[in-house]
Each structure stands twice: as C-alpha cells, then as structure tokens.
Amino acid sequence: MKGVISGLLSICLLAAFSIPKAEAAEKEKMKLAEQSHSAILMEQDSGSVLFEKNSHEKLPPASMTKIMTMILIMEAIDKGKISWNDKIRVSEYAASMGGSQIFLEPGEEMRVEDMVKGIAIGSANDASVAMAEHIAGSAESFVNMMNNKAKELGLNDTFFKNPTGLPAAGHYTSAHDMAIMSKELLKHEEVTKFTGLYEDYLREESEKKFWLVNTNRLVKFYPGVDGLKTGFTNEAKYCLTATANKNGMRVIAVVMGAPSPKERNAQVTSMLDYAFTQFSTKKLYDRHEIVKEVKVQKAEKSKLPVVTSENISLLLKKGETAKKVKTEVNVDKDLKLPVKKGQQIGSLKIYNGDKLITESPVLASETVKKASWWKLFKRTAGQMSKSS
C-alpha cells in the first residue's frame, strides 16, 4: 500500500513540475488587457479569436467609429462613386465640428485623398462629416449607410448616431464588432498607406500648411503596426484598434475603456506580442484570387471565374503543422442574370483535417449579362455542328 501511495505522489509531483507549454501559454494569455474594460485579439485572414475579454459588451467607441466611416469611403472609391482626386466642398455644418479636426472652413475644397489622410492620421471630425455629406447627401443618410453596413457584417452589438464618434446617446459598439469592422476595412489594403503614416502635412503649398501627427503612437514605436484608429472621450476612456503585420501574419487588437494612453498602448503591445510569439499563419489564397470557374446558363459568357473576397490563411500555433488541408467552393445554383462584378455568389470553406476552420464569401470576378437570343442561337448551332 505504501508503494502505491508513493507512486501516486511521484506522479503528482511530476505533473506539478511539467506543466504543458499550451497550458502555460493559456495562463499567460489570461493576464492580457487587465486594465481595460473590454478587449479582443483576432488574426485577420481567418478571423480566429486569440483572446477576448467582455468582447460583446456595448460601449461608446469614440473616434474608433471612423473605422466604419473609412469603410464606406473606401467602398465608394472602389465602386467609382468618388475618386481620390475629387474635390470635396465643405459645408458650414462640417466645418462646425468640434474635437479633433483639421480646421476646414465653410466653402473650402479639399481632395478626397487629403480628407482621408486627415481622418486616418488626425482623426478629423470635420473631414469625416464632409466626406459623409458628399457620399450620402447628408450626415444623417450616411449614418443610415453605416448602420446598414453594420447589419450586413452581422454586427449585433453596434449602432451609430454619427460618423465621428462624438458623444451621443445610443451610439455604441463592442470590441468584437470593432475587430470585424477592422477586418472589413483591411480588405482595402491601400488604407494602410494613410493609417500607417506617423506624420504628414495638409495644404503644403499654401499659407495654411497643417501638420498631422498620428494619434496612434504604436505606428512609430511597434514594428509592423500600420493602423488603425484611436479613440477618447470622457465616457469611453482611452480606446485603440490596432493592426500589425509580421512575417505574413496580420492581427487586430482592440482595447476599450483603458485608464490612460500609456496603459492603452501597453495593453495592445502585450496582446500583439502574444499573437506573434504564439502563432503563425500559412497563406492559402490572396484576395481576388480565382478559385473556380462556373458555367452560367444563357449568359453572354458561358464561364465565370469565381474569386476570393479576402486573403485566406491557415492559423497555426507555433510548432504546429497543418494536417490535410481541404478546400470546398460552393457556388449558388441557378444564378440570376445579370451577375454584377463583386457580387457574392457562394462561399469557400477551408478544412484542416475534418475541422472547418474558415468560411469566406466568394465573388463574381466580372459582370455577366444575359445573352441575346441571336447569340444563344449561334452558340446552340455551333454546339450542334461540333457534335455532328
């Protein structure tokens, strides 16, 4: 009996002194974002959550609101509704915005590129409202667009009252939803040309030259950080949605309700360190890469290339190897014509072994219209002659 007890004690002691690395990493992870109200850490391509704390709690986002504002600006550019060189005329209402601003004057005209620079680097409220009015006709209509986009992205913790993040009753989001918005914004890779700048100038050739310094200091002090947006109000406290790219892996870290800028930055730094030391990614597809060709009945073109909507990667713990990776592309049956370029027409599923790890929309690579009866007749006649 003594021998049995002694053996059991030995096993217990061995277990106590040989904690698996995964368990140690898990304990370390629990120490993240201790001085914030809520937080989340997400890998960009897969959308995998690496850490979260109160991530669905509805809180005021302050100027992190502008991430959604920038999404709609980038979409308007992609759709050709506006261009980088368009000049935006500033209304009296836009010029009247308080808080962070680039001191736009009523009637002043500024290019879209400079407006975006003012929003991304300087968190300019006046530029945000000027862009909102130009895209939607009014700030109110733009806010409707923001909320519709939130619904489209499945954001259940979010409701906007303005495009700036200035305090307003009923204006809220969550750390989780901020990460999803950031993931969407980062599909427009050119946005990091602005969010990743530490400093720049507006109106350089005029007497009103204006120096911009990024409110996100990690852009300068943490290697790989190239965005995205800070926020502060007395109600929201100090907030930050940051993104960093190292060795081909991009992560998004969100902190809400930190007590000071120093603490906010320290917490995000720790989260980024955790992501890059514990995980890696294996790139599978680039954004807009062709994954399949499908036949479209009665269309001008009989085949339509199907493309990815975003970069797709496999997330791995450091030291882990990928199992048998399988890809499954499902395209909607009986596509109704016309099919528009960029229209979601199905989904791409990625499996690691038997485990589904990613499901992402796939898009039409081009616009396909219905064929004329004459074209259909010639196609049918050609097929008949080949078969005979």
- Pairing type for strands 87-89 and 49-53 reads unpaired
Number of other residues whose CB lies within 10 A of the CB of residue 384:
9
Cα 182 from Cα 242, distance rounded (Å): 9
Which position among 66, 117, 161, 183 bears the catalytic label?
Answer: 66
State yes or no: is 63 an active-site residue: yes
Residue 13 C-alpha from the chain's centroid: 47
| 246 among known catalytic residues | no
Q: How far apart are CA 271 and CA 252, in angstroms?
A: 9
**Residue 229, marked binder:** yes
Out of 36, 91, 100, 123, pick the active-site residue.
123
Q: How far is residue 342's CA from residue 362's CA, in Å, rounded to a whole number?
A: 9
> Is 123 known to be catalytic?
yes
Single out the catalytic residue among 55, 63, 128, 360. 63
Q: Known catalytic residues?
A: 63, 66, 123
Which segments are annotated as binding site for substrate?
229
Which segments are annotated as binding site?
229
